Structure 1
Amino acid sequence: MLTFGVEEEFFVVGRDGRLSQAGAAVVEAADEDEGELQQELTRSQAESATGICTTHDEAERQLTTLRAELARTAARRDCRLLPSGCAPLAETSLPAITPNPRYERMSEHFGATARTSHTCGCHVHIAIPDRETGIRVIDHVRPFLPVLLTVTANSAICDGYDTGYASWRYQQWSRWPSAGSPPRFGSLDHYESIVDAWLRAGAILDRAMVYWDVRLSEGQPTVEFRFADVAATPGEAVLFGVLIRGLVGTILAAEGRAANLSNEVLRAQIWRASREGLSGRCPHFRTGELAPASDVLDDVVTFAAGALEETGDLDFVRDGCARLVTGGGGADRQRARFEKRRRAEDVVDLLVW
């Protein structure tokens, strides 16, 4: 059985919903019974990471516990934990960079990109036996990225207004020179040649700054999916994680060549998914034609059903997808709450822990 792990980034906000500078202090004061808590690029953020998981129940328990611990520690500083891809309220100043040599170097080198791209994502790690296998996974999973983005899209409201996007975070994050959809590599050598060229150009400062939507992890034997918004709930984060695990399991069990999907077309398809989210239309992973995102998601579950059943996730995924379609994704819920009074503070109150 493929093992997996989930990382989540959060904003730390004051009682008024605006970004606090207490993120690093919250992380330092929190207890870690299992999993890991980490500081992030800005002082307004905190990050959690599960340990290695084998079941969806295990992952959801860990994510819930980690969120609750961060929220408890934040509350002691009169702050709250906010799972949103972008900060809903407009800020009067840029967030401060966490006093860490690497983060400070990033801020100096990338300027406004580092200072204004304060977004919160959800990253999923899937264990792989070797890096060549990881390249195979990346090449084959590319057509599924648009619909996968709709599952956790959770950043419709940003800077006090409705952005018109389900995942405005994806648009913000894509400003990094190494971010965005990965090309079809074909080989590990091709992957490494691009990373080496980025390093020579100064487009990344180190290999940890390879920000493709799907990449080979540098510190762990995993392929890392890192393009999604932080999910509104732990259950939705786990749904995203085990659905990806099912896709990877299906890909590894199959034969054949990866789809010859150009990166220019894939970028356009992901743009459409970030624009409309789960309640809109999305390019289908087989044809590229627009279809209701909920229908495309249902076809993904069908495609990966064998692997999902083998890991005991099929009913969990079907039920989770049905709840999302019926109740709306994170972006839909953000927008619905905002529309009632046109107050971004209401969106914060909807999401905070």
Structure 2
Amino acid sequence: MGTRGSSVGALRGSASRGLTVGVEEEFLLLDHADGRPALRAPEILALLGDHPQVQPELMRYQLETVTGVCTDLEQVREELVRHRRLVAAAAAELGCHLVASGIAPQSGPGLSAVTADARYQELAARHGSLVARSGTCGLHVHVGVPARELGVHVLAGLRPYLPTLLALSANSPIAAGRDTGWASRRYLEWSRWPSARPPGAWRSAADYDAAVRRTISSGRAMDERSVYFHARLSPRYPTVEVRIMDTCLSADDTVAVAAFVRALAGLAMGELWDGVPTRRRSGRRINAELAHAARDGLDASAVDPYSGRSSPHRTLLEALLNRLPDADPVARPLGVLMTRGTGADRQRALWSRAATPGVFARLLADATLDRTITPTVAGDSGRTRSGSPFPRSSPPRRITPAR
């Protein structure tokens, strides 16, 4: 990063008092009867009265929910749970499920499903073949940064851990009616976009801005919002926005990933304050590790940026926790996720139980609201046990947005 002088040093106090976090989750709508993508998003939005924290997405079988600016992880979880339950109830009114999966289990209808929004329609006109294969769902975690110069340094610190974040969040093994063999099939589809790549190790915000301008001027992106770096400076908020992750199967999974992202950002800031040089990693190496993580999840290997040794992502996570000054807020939710298995692990267990695509969609919808937990530890029989904090009540007939 370019400047380590007084302007950066003055930020240390404010950053060390705690980092804010915000979360955007993208969801699928699947038909109750056959589990196919259901083009009901506009009706759900109308039913919710244009709720400010529920938004349209690229395809009419997708929706996005957004949290506010949160100061602690419990606040994040409360908002995630509230939004999931609210939108799931609205979807049920219209004969479809809300499902948290990185990709639809059955193929969508292509360009005919694009949302009637000027920007989305322009994307479809420019990148028709890519948009036709889109409709993937990601998790975007925003971490507040007090200055863009600091944000560029955080991006550099995050680069080596992008494959681990993908492995941890992988939640899209089932597509086109079959197990694809990938933990994150979404990554394979998403990475086809010409601007979907790891952030560079830029030295300054000016260098970052120049890279964005080159991406747009070359035609690889339509505008700043469609510069799809796997982690970027948000074009709308004073945040670092990490975008590599699949949308997570449960709200608790999302909290675990958000906690990890925030911890990585804090670690990058702390190392800047301490004068630790940024660890270099080539874009080619990161892309190779991302592909491996997308295929094999946490069993894939990557190079530890500290030791230089190649280890499975499970081991890298344990090593990183030992480096955090306050690991407890990260270790607890990560421990739950690792015990239950990733979204990809649990999707495959549900897929093996489902007699039809419609049943699979229902099981995914239950898992999205954490109504069921399917253990995936070695030797488990695949039986389901109740672990839900949510009652098994029918959705309300009238949808009232939670404020």
Q: Normalising by the residue count of structure 1, what TM-score does the alignment of the two structures yield?
A: 0.92
Q: Aligned residue for 2:24? A: 7
Shift of 1:339: 3.2
> Residue 217 of structure 2 aligns to which amino acid in structure 1?
R
State the distance in 2 between where 1:338 and 1:14 align.
17
Tell me, yes or no, if the aligned pair for 2:234 and 2:241 is still in contact at 8 Å. yes
State the distance in 1 between where 2:50 and 2:321 align.
34
Tell me, yes or no, if the aligned pair for 1:18 and 1:91 is still in contact at 8 Å. yes
> Residue 314 of structure 2 aligns to which amino acid in structure 1?
S
Tell me, yes or no, if the aligned pair for 1:12 and 1:22 is still in contact at 8 Å. yes
| Cα pair distance change 1:91/1:115, threshold 3 Å | closer
Q: Aligned residue for 2:210? A: 193
> Residue 260 of structure 1 aligns to which amino acid in structure 2?
R
Question: Equivalent pairs: percent with the same residue?
Answer: 34
Shift of 1:14: 1.0
Q: Aligned residue for 2:45? A: 27
SS class of match (1:61): helix
Counterpart selection for 2:36 from 18, 28, 31: 18
Q: Aligned residue for 1:202? A: 219
SS class of match (2:113): coil
1:212 corresponds to 2:232:
no
Select the structure of larger CA radius of gyration.
2
| Cα pair distance change 1:332/1:95, threshold 3 Å | farther
> Residue 348 of structure 1 aligns to which amino acid in structure 2?
A
1:257 corresponds to 2:277:
yes
Counterpart selection for 2:330 from 317, 322, 325: 317
State the distance in 2 between where 1:110 and 1:42 align.
14
Deviation string for 1:202-221 (max 9, x for gaps)? Answer: 22111111110100001110
Runs of 4+ in structure 1 off by over 4 angstroms are: 91-95, 340-346
State the distance in 2 between where 1:342 and 1:180 align.
38
Structure 1 regions of 5+ residues with no counterpart? none
SS class of match (2:319): helix
SS class of match (2:322): helix
> Residue 239 of structure 1 aligns to which amino acid in structure 2?
A
Tell me, yes or no, if the aligned pair for 1:24 and 1:45 is still in contact at 8 Å. no
Q: Aligned residue for 1:351? A: 364
Tell me, yes or no, if the aligned pair for 2:111 and 2:128 is still in contact at 8 Å. no
Tell me, yes or no, if the aligned pair for 1:147 and 1:273 is still in contact at 8 Å. yes
Give runs of aligned pairs for residues 71-150 of structure 1, distance below 5 A. Answer: 71-91=88-108, 96-150=113-167
Tell me, yes or no, if the aligned pair for 1:273 and 1:283 is still in contact at 8 Å. no
RMSD in angstroms over aligned alpha carbons? Answer: 1.9
Shift of 1:135: 0.5
Shift of 1:336: 2.2
1:293 corresponds to 2:313:
yes
Deviation string for 1:162-198 (max 9, x for gaps)? Answer: 1111111111111111112112112222222221112
Counterpart selection for 1:336 from 321, 324, 349: 349
Aligned length: 345
Tell me, yes or no, if the aligned pair for 1:31 and 1:69 is still in contact at 8 Å. no
State the distance in 1 between where 2:53 and 2:109 align.
32
> Residue 86 of structure 1 aligns to which amino acid in structure 2?
I
Tell me, yes or no, if the aligned pair for 1:184 and 1:263 is still in contact at 8 Å. no
Structure 2 regions of 5+ residues with no counterpart? 1-17, 370-403
Shift of 1:40: 0.4
Give runs of aligned pairs for residues 45-84 of structure 1, distance below 5 A. Answer: 45-84=62-101
Tell me, yes or no, if the aligned pair for 2:97 and 2:361 is still in contact at 8 Å. no
Shift of 1:288: 5.3
Q: Aligned residue for 1:272? A: 292
